[in-house]
Structure 1
Amino acid sequence: MRYVALLRGVNVGGKNKLPMALLRNALEKTPFYGVTTYIQSGNILFSSDLKSAQCADIISELLKSEFDLAVPVMVKEQEEISKTLKASPFKTRTIENSKFMSFGFLNESPVQEKVNTTEEFSNDMETFKIIDDVIYFYCGVGFGKTKMTNAWFEKKLGMTSTMRNYNTTLKLTEL
């Protein structure tokens, strides 16, 4: 099975430094093969015969033991990432301007009541839909100006999320 591991909060704003070359080398000692990383923000692609939860546990333990990092790790099948792009409720807006589109990958599907109260904050320029365990977020004001940050979504939903922009998400389906 081909997987994508999404690490939350590495190499962002000078915190949680994690050189991808060192990470790739460390992952070679695991039951993973075909390991590659994409950009410096904690994207790992690999193959394994293990289940996704087992892979996440292995990566979490490796991050703690080798790099003294305790960061959330989400492992998704690469095909799931591809389906996420195809399922976007904002395809038209994405085609027009992909730089305003991002995806928040959640550690599980949120409680519907929290989804309903969170979606009340959506407006024409900052609109999102939460489907299963993904936040589809179109941010026409620009991600540097929005108050709807990854931390905002985590607080509103009461769970872990990690965001990837459209271009990164697309690349994770192609590697």
Structure 2
Amino acid sequence: MKYIIFLRAINVGGNRKIKMLDLREVLTANAYQNVTTYIQSGNVIAEHAETSYEWVQENIAALIEDAFGFDVPAIVFPLDEYVQGILQKPFEEEKLMVHFLNQVPEAIDLDTLKELGKDQQDSCEITGRFLYVTLSAGVSDSIYSNKLVERVLHVKATARNWRTVTTMQEKSK
């Protein structure tokens, strides 16, 4: 099965450094095939015989812990779920950020997140495990930081801009 994989907070500010070549080697040595990476921030496309994305999330996190010595959450999507998430994009704005979630959050938690942002310049909508955020200014000015999203929704998350989201889809073809 083909997967789109996002690693949280690697190679940011000189912390938790992982060379993409090393990451590809670790994954390939552990039954992942056709491993491709995009830029240095932990965007991966790979195939694996396992059909459970939850298993793949846990497996990749464990492999990174073993090989590189630090905890890095992996957010994994089967390709068909990823494509569906993109097709169901709720906003037409060009400035979008997407938080990828390791699981679908509880509705009450999403209501809490929306309530926190109701008087803010940005807005959010969820589609499955995709949390779409409009950016009226920029990522650093948005209330919807990854830390807030994880705390309020009780999930693991990592965010990417719309360009990275669509590039990953193109590279997966």
Same fold (TM over 0.5): yes
Deviations 1:115-135 (A, max 9, x none): 112112145730111233221
Confirm or deny that 1:105 pairs with 2:100: yes
Give the Cα–Cα distance (whole angstroms) in 1 for the partners of residues 111 and 118 of structure 2.
Answer: 11
Q: Aligned residue for 2:22? A: 22
**2:122–2:143 contact (8 Å) kept in structure 1:** no
Aligned length: 169
**2:120–2:143 contact (8 Å) kept in structure 1:** no
Q: Aligned residue for 1:150? A: 146
Deviations 1:35-85 (A, max 9, x none): 111111111111111122232232122111111121111211122222111
CA root-mean-square deviation: 1.5
Counterpart of 1:14 in structure 2: which amino acid? G
Q: Aligned residue for 2:168? A: 172
**2:8–2:42 contact (8 Å) kept in structure 1:** yes
Instruction: Report the TM-score, using the length of structure 2 for normalisation.
Output: 0.91
Instruction: Name the CA shift for 1:122/1:81 in 2 (closer, same or farther; >3 Å).
Output: farther
Task: Choose the corresponding residue for 1:141, options 129, 137, 144.
Answer: 137
Unmatched segments (≥5 aa) in structure 1: none
Instruction: Name the CA shift for 1:60/1:124 in 2 (closer, same or farther; >3 Å).
Output: closer
Counterpart of 1:9 in structure 2: which amino acid? A
Residue 165 of structure 1: how far off its partner (Å): 0.9
Confirm or deny that 1:59 pairs with 2:60: yes
Deviations 1:121-158 (A, max 9, x none): 14573011123322111111111222321111111212
Unmatched segments (≥5 aa) in structure 2: none
Instruction: Report the TM-score, using the length of structure 1 for normalisation.
Output: 0.90
